[in-house]
């Protein structure tokens, strides 16, 4: 989507195997979540020793901890990625944007959805919950229900061409 040419190396069984491959210089690039990057080893040591350079963020907004690293969306703007490419990127990256959403079954009455959404948002603002999350070293960076609903509509309304391209990527 931005003119890069990566040779994807498959076959590593676990993230720790990829980490060792990076340290052994078998691979020169690795993708993972920012939550993992800021929460555990070997990434804390990698950051401390300046062993890695973060190339790009896949989120829609920059994470303040790596504020100088552009998002893929900013790079697509810079390199004038056509709309079909942007749509494909949205489809590929949606899983990370969704995170671990809480969902309800279809046909749930709107009033119940409203109550659950409000309760969830209130919990995320609750001081006790925030302190507990920090104590457990959990990251709180929630997306609003409106943001997730908008993303779900965007993902499920892709053109047949974008869906076909995604299918091609999944077959590789």
Tens digit of each residue's pLDDT (9 = 90 or more) over 107-123? 999 999 999 999 988 98
The mean pLDDT of the chain is 88
Would the pLDDT of 60 be above 90? no
The pLDDT assigned to 57 comes to: 93
Q: Residue 71 phi/psi, 5° resolution?
A: -85, 160
Averaged pLDDT, 63-88:
93
Would the pLDDT of 61 be above 90? no
Domain ranges of the chain: 1-81
Q: Label each residue of 39-108 as H, E or C.
A: HCCCHHHHHHCCCCCCCCECCCCCCHHHCCCCEHHHHHHHCCCCHHHHHHHHHHHHHHHHCCCCCCCCCC
Please report where in the chains the tokens 């309304």 appear, as a residue. 157
Residue pair 116/106 in contact by the 8 Å Cβ criterion = no
Instruction: Write out pLDDT tens, residues 10-28.
Output: 889 999 999 999 999 999 8
Tokens of 117: 């959404």
């Amino acid at each position: 989507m931005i003119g890069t040419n990566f040779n994807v190396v498959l076959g590593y069984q676990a993230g720790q195997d990829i980490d060792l491959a990076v340290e052994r210089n078998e691979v020169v690039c690795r993708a993972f979540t920012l939550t993992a990057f800021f929460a555990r080893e070997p990434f804390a040591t990698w950051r401390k020793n300046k062993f890695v350079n973060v190339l790009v963020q896949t989120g829609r907004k920059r994470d303040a901890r790596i504020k100088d690293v552009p998002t893929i969306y900013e790079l697509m703007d810079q390199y004038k990625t056509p709309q079909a490419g942007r749509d494909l990127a949205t489809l590929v990256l949606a899983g990370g944007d969704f995170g671990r959403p809480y969902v309800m079954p279809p046909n749930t009455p709107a009033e119940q959805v409203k109550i659950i959404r409000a309760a969830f948002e209130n919990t995320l603002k609750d001081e006790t919950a925030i302190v507990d999350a920090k104590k457990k070293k959990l990251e709180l960076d929630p997306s609003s229900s409106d943001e997730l609903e908008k993303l779900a509509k965007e993902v499920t309304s892709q053109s047949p061409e974008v869906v076909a391209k995604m299918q091609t990527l999944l077959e590789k």
